[in-house]
């Protein structure tokens, strides 16, 4: 299992909407919203989706200016996810985030 700590930066007028959107995602905890356009996240592997894939998908969301990985813990029980392995981070964001849908309007 992977646990990631990340800082997501967006505009101040978008931060509340983005916070709500991310809080609904499996494996994503919005730990802190300092009110300045940053969100502090804790991301864990969930339901066959690696935390790194979720982080990549967050980086590709509209309005996200920057994502910084500030903490990473990798346990002994890796998530079973198609195509994910220890070198998956070497792919581009689009390849890494393939199959992760963070849109809030999905049904």
List, edge to edge, every strand of the sheet that includes 38-44: 28-32, 38-44, 2-10, 64-74
Range of weakest confidence among 56-60, 77-81, 89-93, 101-105: 77-81
DSSP one-letter code for 99: T
Model confidence at 107, pLDDT cuts 50, 70, 90, reads very low
**pLDDT mean over 76-86:** 55
Tokens of 37: 């356009």
Alpha-carbon distances, residue 83 vs 52, 80, 91, 95 (angstroms)? 12, 9, 11, 10
Domains and CATH numbers, the chain: 2-76 (3.30.70.920)
Contact 8, 58 (CB under 8 A): yes
pLDDT in tens, 35-71: 999 999 999 999 889 999 999 999 999 999 999 999 9
Longest Cα separation, the chain: 40
Look up the pTM and report it. Answer: 0.75
């Amino acid at each position: 299992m992977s646990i990631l700590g990340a800082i997501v930066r967006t505009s101040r007028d978008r931060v509340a909407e983005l916070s709500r959107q991310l809080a609904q995602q499996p494996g994503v905890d919005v730990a802190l919203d300092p009110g300045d356009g940053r969100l502090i996240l804790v991301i864990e592997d969930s339901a066959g989706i690696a935390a790194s894939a979720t982080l990549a998908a967050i980086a590709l969301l509209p309005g996200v200016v920057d994502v910084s990985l500030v903490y990473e813990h990798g346990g002994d029980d890796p998530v079973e996810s198609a195509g994910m392995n220890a070198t998956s981070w070497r792919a581009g964001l689009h390849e890494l985030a393939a199959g992760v849908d963070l849109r809030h309007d999905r049904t």
